[in-house]
């Protein structure tokens, strides 16, 4: 078996593409519109051939996706957790669980999906302001 993708239903495709691609750095690998079914599938990955995140956008849906915690989370290994968290924060994303340990942080997508960020390799040395930041909300 091989892991292929995680699927996330999204209510605002543009906001989700901005979050996953512009802010987190994923790349759009494939997009397919299904006019008969009235939905769009967008596949994102760090690089082609790697596991993907499938964004499912239902065109006419009035359903509110709450991002319940039973979904779990998506996890991404990052080169510099402090740099990425600062970039996200500078762009209005709440850091729900700051990287106080230089290793792990959690944020949420526009649809409330938990995103775990893990430092590649060894933990970075603890540094302010991250080392002193409290948890915020759910993650």
Which residues form the catalytic set? 116
Report the alpha-carbon distance of residue 121 to residue 51 in Å, rounded.
20
Task: Tell me if 53 sits within 8 A of 44, measured CB to CB.
Answer: yes
Cis preceding-peptide flag for 129 (omega within 30 of 0): yes
Report the length, in residues, of the chain. 139
Residue holding tokens 């989700």?
16
Tokens at 103, concatenated: 């290793």
């Amino acid at each position: 078996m091989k892991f292929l993708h995680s699927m996330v239903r999204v209510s605002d495709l543009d906001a989700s593409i901005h979050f996953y691609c512009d802010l987190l750095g994923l790349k759009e690998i494939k997009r397919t519109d299904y006019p008969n079914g009235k939905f769009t599938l967008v596949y994102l990955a760090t690089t082609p051939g790697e596991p993907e995140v499938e964004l499912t956008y239902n065109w006419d849906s009035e359903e509110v996706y709450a991002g319940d915690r039973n979904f779990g989370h998506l996890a991404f290994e990052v080169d510099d957790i402090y740099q990425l968290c600062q970039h996200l924060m500078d762009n209005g994303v709440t850091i729900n669980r700051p990287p106080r340990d230089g290793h792990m942080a959690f944020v949420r997508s526009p649809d409330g999906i938990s995103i775990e960020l893990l430092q590649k390799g060894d933990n970075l040395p603890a540094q302010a302001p991250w080392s002193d930041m409290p948890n915020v909300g759910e993650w």
